[in-house]
Structure 1
Amino acid sequence: MRFRTIKQMVEICEQEGLTFGSLMLQEQAKQAGQSEDEQFAIMAKYYEIMKEAVHKGLTEDTTSRSGLVGLDAQRVQKRVTAGDASLGGDAGTAMAYALAVSEVNASMGRIIATPTAGSCGIIPGVFVSSQERFGWDDKHMTTGLFSAGAIGYVIANNSFVSGAEGGCQAEVGSAIGMAAGSLVELRGGTPAQAAHAVGLALKNTLGLICDPVGGLVEIPCIVRNGFGAVTALAAADMAMAGVRSVIPSDEVIQVMLEVGAAMPEKHRETAQGGLAQTPTGKQIMKKLYGKG
C-alpha cells in the first residue's frame, strides 16, 4: 500500500482528488493482481451478506446455542418503530441493525467480520440504516466499505484489531472508527473530516476491556455493537460539523497500542476478569461448563 497512516491517506487523497475508498480500491486491486472491477465485485458481495444478516436478525429466531442472547434487535426495532425510542429513529435503527447482525453471529449465522466477528454489527448497522435513510445505492455503499477497509488497514498495521491482543477497544473501537470515517465520506465529507471522525471515535473507547462471559462472543459483546453504531453516527456528525480530533487519529491509534499492551491479560478475551468474573458471570460459566 502507498500509505501506512491516516495522515498519509489524507495527503494522497487531497493531492490526487481521491477518497479513502477510491484510494483503497486502487491499492487493493494492485496488491491482489486484479482489476478494480473484480475487487469491487468481491466487496459488493460482502455488502450483500451484511444486508442479509440485518434482515435475518430482524425477522428470524437468533437465540444463541447457549440461550444467553437473542431477539434483542427485534425488541429494540419494535420500540423504534413505535416511536418510543429516546434516540430517535435514525440512531435507534442503526442500533437495532447492529444488534441484529451480532445476534446472527452468536446464533451461528453468516456475517462479515468487520474487522472481527465480535464487532461485526457496527459497520452493517451504520451502513444499512444510513442507506435506507439517504436512498444511496449499493455501489455507493460498496465504495464506503473500501473506505472502512482503508481505515482498518491502518489500525491493524499500527495497533490491534483483536480483543485477545488489545481488549475490546481493538475490536469494537476499531469498528466504530472505521464506520465513523467511512460514513463521513459516504455523506460527502472531506478526507480531513473523515480522519477527524476516526480520531473522535477511537478516543471514546480507549481502555475498553474484552471480558466475554463464558468466553462467548455474546455478553457484553452484542450490546457493545449496538452502542458502537450510535457512537459512530455521533463521531461522523461531530466531524462534519467541524469538530476536530485535537489529538490526531494516528496518535490515538498509537495510544490504543500502548493501552492494549499494558492491559492485564485477564482483561483481554480470557473470561478471567471484568464482567466474566462477576457473581452472575461465574454462575453462567458454571451452568455452561460445570465450573465456576
Structure 2
Amino acid sequence: MTQKKATVIGFSAILLWGTLAFFTSLTDGLIPPFQLMAMSFGIAFLLMLSRFIIQGHLGLRHLKQPKRVWLLGIGGYFGYHFCFFSAMQLAPAVEVSLLAYLWPLLIVLLASLLPGETLTLKHISGALLALFGCWLLISKPDSNFDSSYLNGYLLALCCAVIWSGYSVLSRLISKVSTDTVAWFCAGTSLLALICHLSWETTAWPEQATQWAGIIGLGTGPVGIAFFTWDYGIKRGNLQLLGVLAYAAPLISTLLLVATGLADASWTLAAASLTIVSGSLIAGISQKKSAHSTE
C-alpha cells in the first residue's frame, strides 16, 4: 500500500474522533469517566476479537511482543486518558483541552527526528495555523490560565507529550501488526476498570440513547479509530496527519451544530477557515515533496 493510501486510512481515525463529543453527549454525563473508558475500550477489544474468531483464531499470536511494544501501546492509550481525566478534575475543561491539543503540533515537530524525515517551514506554518484555529474553536471569552490550576495544566501537557510520543515512536515498531492494538485496548480497559473500582461509583445507563452513546464510542472513536490511526502513523505521512488532526475538534463542533446540540457562530467560521488553511498548506508541502522524489 502506498504512503498516500495509508495517510487516508490514518485520516479516517481523525474523522471518527470528530464524533467523540457527539457520542459522549448521548451518555448525558451519567457514566463516570473511568467506567466509560473501561466500557468503550472493552467494546473495542470485543469488536476486534470477533474479527479474530471469524478468521479462525483468538488473536493470541499478537500477544508475543517485546516489552517496549506493550509499554508504548498501553502506556500511550491508558497514559493519555488517565492524565486527561485527572487533569479535568484539577483544572477547567477548556484550558485542559487547549493544552492537550498541542499533541498534533508536537507530532509535526517530533516526526522530523525520525530517519528519512525532514521538517519544512510549510509543515510548521500549517500546524501553527491549524492550532490557532483549534484554540479559536475551543476557547471561550472567560478562558484564563490560573496558576492555582498548575497541576491540572501539567497533566494536560503530559497528555500532549504522551500521545505525540506514542504516535511518533510507533513508526519505529512499524513491523508490529495493527491487530496488536486489540490487546492494547484490552489492557487499557482493564486498567481503567481498576481505576473505576478504586475511585468511582458505578452507574449504569438508564436509556437506550445512553447505551447507543457507549456502543458508538466503543466502535468508532475508541474502536476503529485506534486501529486506523495505528496503520496511518506507521505507514502514512506522519507530519501531514499531525496537521490534519486539528480537523477533529472542527468536525466535532460541526456535528454538534448539525444535530442541534450547538449553535453556529462566526467563531466557528473563522476556526474552520484557519484549520482548513493550515491543512492545505501542509498538504501542498507534502505534494511538492512527493513530486521531488519522483
Q: Considering the TM-score relative to the shorter chain, is it more than 0.5? A: no
Larger RCO of the pair (alpha carbons < 8 Å, separation 6+):
2
TM-score (norm 1): 0.27
Greater fraction of residues in helix: 2
